[in-house]
Amino acid sequence: MTDVNVSKKLRTLLPKQMLRLIGLIAELARQNSCDVFLVGGIVRDILLGVENYDLDFAIEGDALQLARALAKNTGGSCIVHKMFGTATVTMPDSIKVDFATARRERYEKPASLPTVEFSTIKNDLSRRDFTINAMAIAISDLNFGQLIDFFGGQDDLLNKKIRVLHDASFIDDPTRILRAVKFEQRLNFKIESSTHRLLKEAVQMHLLEKVGRWRLNKEVALILKEKNSRKIFKRMEKLGIWPQTDLKK
């Protein structure tokens, strides 16, 4: 954990309209007796001082109830995925807000889809790909802006490192190999030495071949949207990823 509060950065980087929306979500969370946390790439980018307007919330409590409450309060529409405990609210001004009940994941075999069970924010963050993406910001009235960082993500941001959370990370989800390279090149960071070794071992184990084509295509499509996609693909080729993914076909 950390005693860092980033409320000033939140108020500086996010538009007032979005801050008002976050305040409303915090109030609705209080009324529905749940704790709500801003998670995902927006947390990383707020710490980096980079604009990012993707509102993604993890909820200790009933995320679906909170999403429905927001839609009702604002006149927005709500799409619910009950099985996964997730929901997306589209506001009248087209802003989208994603909610997910905090959860933990277990992988029965390499590259398989995980078994999900609802849990705490710490367990939810522990399932993320890299430390820099495994942070949260509390938005309740009592601790608004409190940075939640169990895994040293802030230090890795400062040191410009891409680091996995545990040694089986690439085994559990080999698509993280592609994301490691993507974030390394996007942010001009370096894959940390132990993570680099684990990545190379995962490639040598041909783990990417176990991933479904649709999942690989999704990751490649996201890479193609990057400004420096050519650098990313060049780095992937150097790491020997091309033959493992059959991406040239």
Distance CA 209, CA 215 (A): 11
Q: What are phi and psi of 54, to 5 degrees?
A: -85, 105
Domain boundaries, the chain: 7-154, 160-244
Average pLDDT over residues 33-62: 93
Q: DSSP for 8-19?
A: HHHHHHS-HHHH
Encode pLDDT of 189-219 as tens digits.
999 999 999 999 999 998 988 888 888 889 9
Question: Between 243 and 176, whose confidence is greater?
Answer: 176
CA distance 199 to 58: 28
What mean pLDDT, rounded, does the chain reach? 90
* 2-33 confidence digits (pLDDT tens): 678 999 999 999 999 999 999 999 999 999 99
* Contact in structure between 176 and 166 (CB atoms under 8 Å): no
User: What's this model's pTM, rounded to 2 decimal places?
Assistant: 0.90
Cα 20 from Cα 7, distance rounded (Å): 13
Q: For domain 7-154, give the fold.
A: Beta Polymerase; domain 2 (3.30.460)
Decide if 26 contacts 146 (C-beta within 8 A).
no
Q: Is 156 helix (H, G, I), strand (E, B) or coil?
A: helix
pLDDT greater than 50 at residue 178: yes
Name residues whose C-beta falls within 8 Å of residue 75's C-beta, 6 or more positions apart in sequence.
92
* Residues 44-67, mean pLDDT to the nearest whole number: 93
Q: Which segment of 62-71, 102-111, 162-171, 218-227 scores lowest on mean pLDDT?
A: 102-111
Angle at 51 between CA 181 and CA 17, to 5 degrees: 145
* Predicted pLDDT of residue 249: 42
Q: How confident is the model at residue 66 (pLDDT cuts 50, 70, 90)?
A: very high
Residues 6+ apart with CB under 8 A from 52: 41, 42, 45, 46
Is pLDDT at 107 greater than 80 in this prediction? no
Q: What CATH code would you report for 160-244?
A: 1.10.110.30
> Same CATH topology for 7-154 and 160-244?
no
